[in-house]
């Protein structure tokens, strides 16, 4: 039994067939079908977003980047970010940092427990911090 597609998905497929350059962008990895569908659904077929995919229009990415302002580029980057995926990456990074901190604290505690306690008259030996950063 074949699964019936939503009418909007069918319309998008027809739109993609009329604009074959979209497929090459997805293959390159610069866009995903989900992103393109969402933009098509929200902006419509006649939006200037699709000019680079239209036949007969010879817009290169460099020309388009030059015409965009800095804030437009940042807005586009933020628009393409997936908040759930960013949160997952941040959590993974946080866990990795926690693991490194745990290993370092184990090494520091084993070094202090194996060395004899300093006498009252002796000054404790100062060891440099393992992550010393200098200011430029």
- H helical segments located in the chain: 7-18, 21-28, 33-43, 61-67, 70-80, 83-114
- What whole-number distance in Å separates Cα of residue 97 and Cα of residue 77? 26
pLDDT at residue 97 tops 80: yes
Q: Is residue 117 very low, low, confident or very high in pLDDT (cuts 50, 70, 90)?
A: low
Mean pLDDT across the chain, nearest whole number? Answer: 75
Under 8 Å between Cβ of 22 and 36? yes
Better-scored residue on pLDDT, 44 or 131? 44
Q: What are the residues whose beta carbons fall under 8 Å from the beta carbon of 57, sequence distance 6 or more? A: 51
Average pLDDT of the residues in 18-35 = 85
- What whole-number distance in Å separates Cα of residue 62 and Cα of residue 57? 14
List the domain boundaries for the chain: 1-56
């Amino acid at each position: 039994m074949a699964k019936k597609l939503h009418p909007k998905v069918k319309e998008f497929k027809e739109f993609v067939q009329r604009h074959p350059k979209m497929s090459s962008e997805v293959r390159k990895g610069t866009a995903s079908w989900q992103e393109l569908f969402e933009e098509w659904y929200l902006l419509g077929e006649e939006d200037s977003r699709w000019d680079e995919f239209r036949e007969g229009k010879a817009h290169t990415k460099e020309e388009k980047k030059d015409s965009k302002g800095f804030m437009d580029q940042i807005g586009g980057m933020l628009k393409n970010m997936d908040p759930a995926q960013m949160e997952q990456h941040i959590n993974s990074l946080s866990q990795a940092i926690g693991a490194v901190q745990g290993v370092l604290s184990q090494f520091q505690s084993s070094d202090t427990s194996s060395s004899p306690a300093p006498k009252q008259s002796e000054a404790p030996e100062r060891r440099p911090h393992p992550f010393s950063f200098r200011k430029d």
